[in-house]
């Protein structure tokens, strides 16, 4: 295993989950060189929770987007891009986009992902399989596939990320799909590994309610 990775997270009103996400990263066998978490205009305790962890773990860096607008994927993408701009001064080889409501079943998750990169020079994006709760049980999300990595935990080779220009802000979402399409157009491989379970606590597009989420998913498509 070789290479250094950083994490980028945009968090808006994630006080219910962000502590679990941070604890899951702290338990990893290989820690990120830096983790930039952008508080994207939260009105709950999100920033306070992040700051409490950052005081004990210097690699965690809390940033603020200064935004007070409604939740949107476009705002999230702009926050991620701002975090990446702040990270450019650091020496790293891989960039992980991590949602603020995700944990990992395995403590060697990132260590294993780095090994996949070492084994395949054309691997541009890698990750595990998203699992979400259904009737109280963790179940694999139906949209998972071995040739697609969910946006909530995409891990990029830096050369790939910079070649595609990072995330393109899209109000209704889909920036993760576009990133994968752009990566393939530049001859990068995208691979997901089913044996690595990634636990997603809030189903995609559910923050504003089921019907609002379905409408937004339709607009995204």
pLDDT tens-digit profile of 180-213? 999 999 999 999 999 999 999 987 655 556 666 5
The reported pLDDT for the residue numbered 71 is 43
Task: State both tokens at 152.
Answer: 């909530």
Q: How confident is the model at residue 73 (pLDDT cuts 50, 70, 90)?
A: very low
Q: pTM, whole model, 2 decimals?
A: 0.87
Task: Identify the bridge partners of residue 148 per DSSP, sorted by sequence position.
Answer: 145
Instruction: Give me the percent of the chain exceeding a pLDDT of 70.
Output: 86
Question: Is pLDDT of 28 > 70?
Answer: yes
The reported pLDDT for the residue numbered 55 is 98
Cα first-last separation, the chain: 37
Task: State both tokens at 121.
Answer: 């020079």
Question: Is pLDDT of 72 > 60?
Answer: no
What is the H or E stretch that residue 47 is in? helix 46-56
- Cα–Cα distance between 59 and 55 in angstroms, integer? 9
Between strands 94-97 and 5-11, the pairing is parallel
CB proximity list for 63: less than 8 A, separation 6 or greater: 36, 37, 38, 39, 82, 83, 86
Burial track 10-38 (b if 16+ CB lie within 10 A, e otherwise): bbbbbbebbbebbebbeeeebbbbbbbbb
DSSP 68-122: -S---HHHHHHHHHHHHHHHTTS--SEEEE--TTEEES-TTHHHHHHHHHHH-TT
């Amino acid at each position: 295993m070789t290479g250094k990775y950083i994490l980028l997270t945009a968090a808006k009103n994630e006080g219910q989950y962000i502590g679990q996400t941070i604890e899951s990263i702290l338990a990893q066998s290989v820690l990120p060189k830096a983790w930039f978490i952008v508080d994207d205009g939260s009105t709950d305790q999100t920033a306070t929770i992040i700051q409490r962890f950052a005081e004990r773990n210097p690699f965690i860096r809390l940033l603020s987007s200064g935004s007070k607008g409604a939740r949107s994927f476009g705002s999230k993408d702009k926050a991620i891009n701002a975090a990446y701009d702040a990270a450019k001064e650091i020496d790293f080889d891989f960039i992980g986009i991590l949602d603020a409501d995700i944990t990992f079943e395995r403590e060697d998750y990132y260590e294993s992902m780095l090994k996949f990169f070492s084994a395949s020079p054309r691997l541009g994006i890698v990750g595990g399989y998203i699992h979400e709760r259904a009737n109280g049980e963790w179940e694999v999300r139906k949209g998972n596939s071995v040739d697609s990595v969910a946006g909530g935990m995409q891990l990029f080779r830096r050369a790939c990320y910079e070649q595609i220009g990072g995330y393109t802000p899209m109000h209704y979402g889909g920036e993760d799909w576009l990133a994968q399409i752009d990566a393939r157009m530049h001859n990068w491989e995208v691979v997901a590994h089913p044996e690595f379970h990634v636990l997603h606590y809030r189903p995609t597009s559910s923050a504003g309610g089921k019907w609002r989420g379905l409408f937004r998913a339709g607009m995204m498509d």
